[in-house]
Structure 1
């Protein structure tokens, strides 16, 4: 009977040790934070429009000036005609704006 209690206490001790190790691992694991939003299509805050953009030629090239195409449609998919577009940007993680002054240059049709 005494050996049964000894095994029971040893099992409880091992369970407590395992719980402690798991708690330490969980509490010291690095917390993941969401990264920047890299989506190229987004619904406006009021939910009326969807803005999408893509590079005019090929992929994104670091360190070069680039042209991008912006398409603005209603949430139903109809092109928005004659919209006034203002462009700005920056690097929020670096706490600064862009080194250039982006601007909308031409309307190509279809939103």
Structure 2
């Protein structure tokens, strides 16, 4: 199951991103870690229809960057491009003060 996310980018246009099945196992590595409360919240609610507010999106950006640094310091493999795409998506939503809407797919 993938999590599809989008926010409005203009009157008709939407910016989209997805938490793919390949990224989910990497995210579960930090589940319930006190240093990553927003990522843990996202994982816990991964398949619910969420709305992510801009302040939460900004916190997710910070946690994704910290997560990437942690993985790199441990020399562990991870899906780098999907993680960076996720970080860019959350940053753009936070910068533009847009609410992110989500839906899961089977």
TM, length-normalised to structure 2: 0.22
Q: Point out which structure has higher relative CO (alpha carbons under 8 A, 6+ apart).
A: 2
The higher radius of gyration belongs to 1
